[in-house]
Structure 1
Amino acid sequence: MKNTFVETGNVKRFLSALSGLEARGAQEACLVVVDGEPGLGKSTTLKHWVAQNNCIYLRAKKEWKPGWFANELLDSIRAEQPHSFERKYAKCLQELAMRQNSALMERRTFGLVIDEADHISSKATILETIRDISDMIELPTILVGMGKVNEHLKRFPQVLSRVSQKVKFEKLDVTDVRRLVDGRCEVKVADDLVRFVHQASGGYNREVLEAIASIERFGLRFEAGDEGVTVRDMAGQPLLENRHTGKKIVVPEAF
């Protein structure tokens, strides 16, 4: 499978939200919430953005406390970790501000991404620490969750007021599935098989990629016609696993 990052509709909405963040009115409104079901490509999108812009990616832990969060943040940027929380906090601000200034000089966006944010989105202490850091240096901070973050933040208006952009990742439409197939698959795939992949996958990135891997394995040892591998070509072949039943979905005779 090609190691290509594909810009789906979800990715484009995320990038549009970042543009909106840069054009925000209140400078302290630096939080972005990216929400959606598992398997829709949120983590892949954010990790790609982090790598492209030399940003910071952390995965929230269920038992995170402010000190633990600060330790992981400092560890991720290979900075020394003072003993007291007050010094850890000051060190975080110093290091992040330095990196943000460098990004401004290079005309790129610098930010902090916190994945699995459902673990912390109902905990006032850690949320306040993240908000304080974001406020102090006007740092774009992206909270990535699986459907609960926006609901949880309603309990904390002082944090919710700092959210300037919200992005909900949706299931892929057939056009996005075609984009993924074209961008990632090593073999040509016919339209009817793309439509079946869309239906069988339910629009989830994870399942589409599983289907692409199956098509590729088949197609590399099969001489397809000009239109590419079709439903008829793969009839009877396992395509992907149903996430609800765990059973293999097999390509039908026709679609």
Structure 2
Amino acid sequence: MRSQFVDTSNVKVFHAALRALEMRGANEACLMVIDGVPGLGKTTTLQHWTARNQCIYLRAKKQWRASWMMNEVLEQMRVTPPHRFEDKYKLALSQIGQRLDRAQVDGQSFAMVIDEADFISRNVECMETIRDLSDGLEVPVILVGMGSIRNNLRRFPQVMSRVAQYVEFQPANEQDVRALFDGLCEVAIADDLVKFVHRVSKGYNREIKEAIASTERFGLRNDPQDGQAFSLRDLAGQPLMNDRQTGNVISVPEFA
């Protein structure tokens, strides 16, 4: 399977929100919340974007406190964290500020991304530290959640008031599934198979990619009928993916 990044509908919505955030009227309103159940491509999208723009990417931990979080911020910038929290904060502020200045000179986007932020979205210490960093530098912070972050943040009106953009990732549509097959799969796939994968995957990227890998393995071992793209009939009886609810294998139906 090709290691190619595919621009799906969710990716396009994210980039539109990012452009709106960069054009915000209130400078202090520089937080973005991205939410959605697991398996819709949030982490893949944000990791790809942060790597291209040399941004800071962190994955929140359930036991995070502000000091541990600041250690990881500094380690991401390849800076040894000092011992005292006050010194960690000042050093992070300086280092992030330098990164932000370089990005602006180079005409690039810059942000700090915190994935799985549900883990800290009820943590007063962490959320207030994030707000302080964002306010101090007017640097965008993108909080990526797994379904509950938006409701959790209602406990922090000072944080909520700084959220300029909300993005909720949605299940992939049929055009997204076609784009993922075209971009990732090394064999040609017919529309009826794309429609079937869209339906049984329920639009979850993880299941779609599982189906792409299964289809590709079959396709590289076999020739399609009449030299055409592989269809449902070609893959009749072949396992494609596991159902995330039951764990059962989902296979292409047999044809009489």
* Alpha-carbon offset, residue 227 of structure 1: 3.7
Corresponding residue of 1:215 = 215
Task: Say which SS state the counterpart of residue 58 (structure 2) adopts.
Answer: strand
Question: Which structure 2 residues correspond to residues 37-56 of structure 1 after superposition, within 5 A?
Answer: 37-56=37-56
Q: Which residue of 1 aligns with 2:203?
A: 203
- The residue aligned with 2:187 is 187
Shift, 1:221, TM fit: 1.2
What amino acid maps onto 2:199 in structure 1?
A: Q
> What is the one-letter code of the residue matched to 1:179?
A
Post-superposition CA distance 1:162-199 (Å, at most 9, x none) = 10000000000111000000000000000000000101
Matches of 1:107 and 1:79 in 2, distance apart?
24
What count of residue pairs does the alignment treat as equivalent? 254
Q: Does 1:241 align with 2:254?
A: no
Partner secondary structure for residue 142 of structure 1:
strand
Q: Which moved more, 1:144-153 or 1:221-230?
A: 221-230
Give the aligned partner of residue 166 of structure 2: 166
Is the aligned partner of 1:59 residue 2:59? yes
Question: 1:141 & 1:159 partners in 2: Cα distance?
Answer: 11
The residue that corresponds to 1:230 in the other structure is 231
- Partner secondary structure for residue 175 of structure 1: helix
Q: Displacement, 1:76?
A: 1.0
Q: 1:19 deviation in Å? A: 0.1
Alpha-carbon distance between aligned partners in 2 of 1:64 and 1:220, rounded to the nearest angstrom: 46
CA distance in 1, matches of 2:148, 2:228: 43
Q: CA deviation at 1:155?
A: 1.2
Q: Partner amino acid for 2:168?
A: K
For structure 1, the residue ranges without an aligned partner over 5 or more in a row are: none
- For the residue of structure 2 that corresponds to 1:233, the secondary structure is coil
2:71 aligned partner:
71
**Match of residue 9 from structure 2:** 9
Quote the residue 2:102 is aligned against: 102
The CA deviation string for residues 75-119 of structure 1, in whole angstroms up to 9 with x for no partner, is 111112111111100000000000000000100011100000000
Residue segments in structure 2 that go unaligned for 5+ positions in a row:
none
**In structure 2, what is the Cα distance between the partners aligned to 1:144 and 1:242?**
25
Displaced runs of 4+ in structure 1, greater than 6 A?
Answer: none
Partner of 2:114: 114
Q: RMSD over aligned Cα, in angstroms? A: 0.8
Amino acid paired to 1:198: H
TM superposition shift of 1:253 = 3.0
Determine helix, strand or coil for the equivalent of 1:167. strand
Q: Distance in 1 between matches of 2:228 and 2:79?
A: 54
Any idea what the Cα deviations from partners look like across 1:207-237, whole Å, max 9, x if unmatched? 0000000000000111114441100000001
- Between the aligned partners of 1:2 and 1:66, the Cα distance in structure 2 is 39
TM-score under structure 1 length normalisation: 0.98
What secondary structure does 1:243 align onto?
coil
Secondary structure at the aligned position of 1:92 is classed as helix
Letter in 2 for 1:246: G
Deviation at 1:23, TM superposition (A): 0.8
